[in-house]
Amino acid sequence: MPKQTHQAWIQIGNQRLPQLKLPPFPVTWRSGGDRNEIKCLSRQKFVALEPEEWVRQHWLQHLSNDLHYPLGLTSVEHPLNLNGMKRRADIVCHDHQGKPLLMVECKRHDVPLSKAVLDQILRYHLALKTPIIAISNGINHQAFSYHATGFQVLESLPFCTSNTSI
């Protein structure tokens, strides 16, 4: 018999979004005509409330409120250049010297964390060289730390401290 999973849902305006396996937070949203918008914690503006943005905003809240990564040192849709091609990393947290510490690639809840998703963040890692990377669809999360010998699986992400550095 197929395994049955129970997914809880949250209604925001006319949109039904999944309850994620990240800490809940008070959502600031508005109806923007034919779409709902959510206030981005980092960008301090309203953006379209798409399923991937729902995951991204949960991660921003978690990184800021629970793990203490400063929002002023966090970049959303961080631009990078890969072999002449412009790309954007979903979330990049920096240290006080501006060096990237942590990168999170967010996918919508129904996108599996496949090899292709991991390959994407690994390509971004080539450009940014963050010591910590994570991929998440809001339901499942995978995190890795990078050392000279390669990547190691992390059970959880580290807290940011005032002396966190690369």
Reply yes or no on whether the pLDDT at 166 is more than 50. no
For residue 160, tell me if it sits in a domain: no
For residue 13, tell me if it sits in a domain: yes
The residues facing 82 across adjacent strands are: 85
For residue 125, tell me if it sits in a domain: yes
For residue 166, tell me if it sits in a domain: no
Q: Yes or no: say if 99 and 75 are a contact pair by the CB < 8 Å rule.
A: no
Structural domain harbouring 84: 9-154
For residue 164, tell me if it sits in a domain: no
pLDDT of 164 reads: 56
The pLDDT confidence band at residue 38, using thresholds 50, 70 and 90, is very high
The pLDDT confidence band at residue 163, using thresholds 50, 70 and 90, is low
For residue 159, tell me if it sits in a domain: no
Question: How does pLDDT run across 57-109, given as a tens digit for each residue?
Answer: 999 999 999 999 999 999 999 999 988 999 999 999 999 999 999 999 999 99
Question: How does pLDDT run across 3-35, given as a tens digit for each residue?
Answer: 556 789 999 988 999 999 999 999 999 997 788
Q: Yes or no: say if 164 and 95 are a contact pair by the CB < 8 Å rule.
A: yes
Look up the CATH number of the domain holding residue 99.
3.90.1570
Number of domain units in the chain: 1
pTM: 0.92
For residue 38, tell me if it sits in a domain: yes
Q: Yes or no: say if 100 and 130 are a contact pair by the CB < 8 Å rule.
A: yes
Q: Yes or no: say if 17 and 8 are a contact pair by the CB < 8 Å rule.
A: no
The residues facing 24 across adjacent strands are: none
The residues facing 131 across adjacent strands are: none
Spatial CA neighbour of 91 closest among 112, 108, 79, 74: 74
Number of neighbouring beta carbons within 10 Å of residue 63: 24
For residue 83, tell me if it sits in a domain: yes
Task: For the chain, give the mean pLDDT.
Answer: 92
